[in-house]
Chains A and B, each alone.
Chain A
């Protein structure tokens, strides 16, 4: 009995030693380092505040930028903020001996709020990329990591990004992972609030949804997701595992940044982050790995730094600078400094942004031109068939003309898309041709109808030219409508300007500049068509003027 008791006690002691010893070894230097740093800053006093850490310690509060619509991570329920990141921010504040004050941020404005000093720290589901690192300092070790997961209806078979062509896909605004999805030519629908995105998936606005797996698990597919969601949807595939970091301003890297890094290493080693994740139903694969890493004394160097081999590097998924990038970055800065206009121009500054923007411009111009030409050709075709000597041809021409003229262009586009994609491999060229065909058919039928009606008002012997002179206004309206309808081609995945700017916005988050550019482009194009069609109409009517003058 006594022997068994001592044996049992010895085993417990060994177990405790196994558990505690790495923590003790690991924790001791960093705790000392943390306390030394904090004491040093406190010793300076509050009369001469030189950095954010001193300001935090003196004011007794740290302002943390957090998400408020990101379930399980940072969510506002009633008046209270709850989630993994909220609890971790509170823990950081308690380690600093101050109170945490929360400032709501979004994926688009989180870094801006940090640079504008509205927050001291950003802890808001932010992927650590070199592009972001150039703007703000990311503390390491990372507190979380997640791949992007794609989820959708269970009966939908999709296994990779290669199969996303022309699939409607709901994505979060401003996520760099969207670059990969736009490369796959998915039809992007953007949302700045995750909840709205999942609503859209629920009511069928998009075929699939792409988001950090952490949130997909909580909202759609995981055990804690609503039953109505996990019954209908499952995860298709995931890609692009990327670490999430907390960010401080560059000038705070060695003070507040250093303190946050020490606290995070300690939180990993002690298993605190894993416990918080468990409390909120957040996936813990990464946290389990990190606990093991930061429990290893080899990760702590003698000078108090962390071993580089234990730290994860930022993942380069952002856009590379374009050849005209520098000029446009300067332009952005000039606007910001001189007229306080804070807008990004990712369609010019980024290499991929510029490439797909130019592609969009070219495709749009081709589409407008093609739609106008096909409108005129279809008009002539219907006019010619209406005068056919065969009754059957006249009948079918009339039926097709009436139906095409009165059908919603979106349905004609879908029909054209289904037919074209059954005959050809669906490429950009095929999508442009399909769109030109549908838009031309819709407006050409109207033009053809006008020509036929005009012909009826003319005496026998009058031809096409006379009929077109009579209904020149209607034909002009059809041509202008064809130009105006061309952006609808985005619906079938044609990479015209609306579609490409949507892609750029999805990963850059800049909507105002993109939509201003888009609206300007189409206004100029339509005005050009209005002017040129007026010239063409004048030229067409001119002979009538001459004839009447001669009479």
Chain B
């Protein structure tokens, strides 16, 4: 039991790692595209707007398989094991979400900052944290490519259980765990937002 719990948390660190990398790249690209969207005009701004819209509309799950296939066709990451290239495919797929979401958050940040609304602008921090939590949860799609993250660990563990009821109970427990993390992070974000806006109201 304890071994399984340890294994699960160890696998959950994979979700965190993948989510963190996807967010980091998403933030860099999101900020860049946000600057272009805010500052540039004409073709480049329209193109970036289209690109962000395109990324927002692309199913992450399909993109993950497309990326995995592309790596294989182009013989990328051949020096590494199958899990490594699968992990990169998950990160690439999640970029469709993190780049578009971070870009939107950064646009809001830049607009408020330009208007001198610094407290509103800094709401970007809880927003990005929220994007991070959603990204970490979304890394569970990696289970379909065999990435050994928390959901894949759970499903492997479930297969070792004899009865269906045990399997269902295990999956419900993990669902509640994931939901618990998301709900508490949302709560944390809401409190941070309230704190930031509260400080702003007090300063006025």
Q: Name A residues whose Cβ lies closer than 8 Å to a Cβ of B.
A: 173, 189, 191-193, 196-197, 199-200, 203-207, 402-408, 410-412, 414-415, 418-419, 422, 480, 484-488, 490-491, 498, 502, 505, 511-512, 515, 518-519, 522-523, 526-527, 530
Contact = CB atoms under 8 A, between A and B. Distances in A.
Interface in B141-164: 141, 143-148, 151-152, 154-156, 158-159, 164
A263 B82 CA distance: 39
A171 B158 CA distance: 23
B117 interface: no
B114 interface: no
B133 to A, nearest CB: 9
Contacts of A490: 61, 144
Interface of B: 54, 57-63, 65-66, 69-70, 72-73, 78, 81-83, 86, 137-138, 140-141, 143-148, 151-152, 154-156, 158-159, 164, 167-168, 171-172, 174-176, 178-179, 182-183, 186
B90 to A, nearest CB: 12
B172 A415 contact: yes
B168 A415 contact: yes
Contacts, number: 133
B7 to A, nearest CB: 12
A512 to B, nearest CB: 6
26 contacts: A189-B146, A191-B82, A192-B72, A196-B81, A199-B82, A200-B83, A205-B145, A205-B147, A402-B179, A405-B179, A406-B137, A408-B137, A408-B140, A410-B143, A411-B171, A412-B175, A414-B155, A484-B58, A485-B61, A487-B62, A488-B61, A488-B141, A515-B69, A519-B58, A523-B57, A526-B59
Contacts of A403: 175-176, 179
Given A199-B81, A491-B144, A406 B179 contact: yes
Contacts of A418: 164, 167-168, 171
Contacts of A485: 59, 61
Contacts of B171: 411, 414-415, 418
Contacts of B158: 414
Given A200-B146, A487-B59, A515-B65, A205 B83 contact: yes
A518 B151 CA distance: 25
Contact of B62 (A197, A405, A498, A527): A498
A522 to B, nearest CB: 5
A483 B72 CA distance: 28
A204 B73 contact: no
Contact of A411 (B63, B83, B147, B154): B154
A206 B141 contact: no
A418 B174 CA distance: 15
A411 B58 contact: no
Nearest to A69: B78
Contacts of B83: 199-200, 203, 205
B78 A193 contact: yes
Contacts of A519: 58, 62-63, 66
Nearest to B168: A418
A422 B163 CA distance: 11
Nearest to B184: A406
Given A403-B175, A408-B175, 14 more contacts: A189-B145, A192-B72, A197-B82, A204-B152, A406-B182, A411-B154, A414-B158, A418-B168, A488-B144, A491-B144, A511-B69, A511-B73, A515-B70, A522-B62
A443 to B, nearest CB: 13
A114 to B, nearest CB: 20
Query: Which 6 pairs from chain A and chain B are nearest by CB?
Result: A205-B146, A406-B182, A406-B179, A408-B140, A196-B82, A407-B175
B168 to A, nearest CB: 5
Given A207-B159, A498-B61, A518-B62, A410 B82 contact: no
Nearest to A153: B159
A486 B78 CA distance: 31
A406 to B, nearest CB: 4
B46 to A, nearest CB: 17
A271 to B, nearest CB: 37
B138 A408 contact: yes
Nearest to B146: A205
A205 B82 contact: yes
A199 B145 CA distance: 13
Nearest to B186: A406
Contacts of B186: 406
A530 B57 contact: yes
Contact of B179 (A407, A511, A523, A530): A407
Contacts of A206: 146
A206 B86 CA distance: 13
B131 to A, nearest CB: 15
Nearest to B66: A515
B149 to A, nearest CB: 10
Contact of A511 (B72, B86, B145, B174): B72
Nearest to A191: B82
Contacts of B63: 519
A148 B145 CA distance: 23
Contacts of B137: 406, 408
A182 to B, nearest CB: 16
A205 B155 CA distance: 11
Contacts of A486: 59
